[in-house]
Amino acid sequence: MEFELELIRWMQSFQNGFLDTLFQFFTMFGEELVIIGALGYLYWCHDKKVGEYVGVTVFISLFLNSTIKTIVQRPRPFVADPAGIENIRPATATGYAFPSGHTQGAATVFAGLATWIRKRWLTIASCVIIVVVALSRMYLGAHYLSDVFVGAGLGIGLAVGLQAVFHQLKDHTRKFYDLLAIVGVALAVIVFAWRYATIEAEGVLTDAANLYDKMEGTFKMVGAMIGFVLGVRFEAKKVNFVNHRVLWKNLIRFVLGVAVVMGVRYGLKAVFGLIVDEEALLSGEKVKAAIAVLLGGIRYFAMVYIAIGIYPMAFRKPKPEEGARA
């Protein structure tokens, strides 16, 4: 670990305003808005089935990332060496360090894109993005070399491995989705029960705030997975939209879709904040922290279900008999 700390100190020795801005830009390729945008483009505009496959791969990957972090509990570099390492981007450096969620998310999305859309330029661009995200996480003081290395390996491995699985499953993917959701819920409940019983105050965090900090990511991905499974079923039965290559229509689909998803994200966050506010977490009310974790899962369920099942109703073509009745 000392070598890894020394590597981060060396990287931060070149710190200046330009590099701070540059690496904070790079790190955004592993953040939620970019991931939502990439998955939305795939699903709404490029190829619905490929969007499904890459989407479920991302949900699995980030669920594993959150669960591993909760089990391993590795402190971040700026926590291990607060005097020598600066936390340059605090908003994206909460919770534990191993493995890197930004790197794993970027690796899963962009390796998935490169795996399913076999274009040389896309493969090169994806490799570059994964590398710069990994470097940014170390420069920003958020992760060790081993964090980003394992995160990248897990993301790429899942993208490549699950592509092979989906090719084998063919028409049985929905049963696979159902199984994933069931296993995810079971694991999340087990991990949550363990953390609820054992969690303690940590640094400036109360036991409640610590519980929320460590478990919110896992339950968000469980909610996303359930929303995905039900959304896919709803879309197949009630919507069944078709992808096309009309640029201006796809641009409208994409922009409105991202706006809808982010509107649901922030709208429900504001509403749920009225139910459990930050004061409850700061005062150490674990029951309210548990409710906040559950509400986070519900919020991500709604985001994904609406994105996959409900929003596509806006651009589906009505069946002939529907048009006649209208």
The pLDDT averaged over each successive group of 10 residues in the chain (326 residues) is: 87 90 92 90 91 91 88 86 84 82 94 91 94 94 92 95 86 82 88 85 81 86 90 90 88 93 93 85 86 92 94 77 46
CA dist 3 and 115 (Å) reads 34
Closest residue by Cα to residue 64 from 169, 157, 160: 157
CA dist 186 and 188 (Å) reads 5
| pLDDT at site 44 | 93
| pLDDT at site 78 | 87
**Quick one: tokens of 32?**
């939620």
Number of Cβ within a 10 Å radius of residue 105 = 23
| pLDDT at site 212 | 86
Using CB atoms within 10 A of its CB, is residue 312 exposed (0-12), middle (13-18) or buried (19+)? buried
List Cβ neighbours of 250 (8 Å cut-off, separation of 6 or more). 44, 45, 244
Q: Quote the longest CA-to-CA distance of the chain.
A: 72
**Is the pTM higher than 0.85?**
yes
What is the torsion angle, in degrees rounded to the nearest 10, for the CA atoms of residue 88, residue 92, residue 97 and residue 103? -100
| pLDDT at site 94 | 76
* Residue spans of alpha helices (H) in the chain: 2-12, 17-27, 32-40, 48-72, 77-80, 101-116, 120-139, 145-169, 173-198, 207-234, 247-275, 278-282, 286-305, 320-325
| pLDDT at site 321 | 53
| pLDDT at site 201 | 81
| pLDDT at site 139 | 92
**Quick one: tokens of 63?**
């669920």
**Quick one: tokens of 193?**
């029960």
Number of Cβ within a 10 Å radius of residue 209 = 24
| pLDDT at site 166 | 87
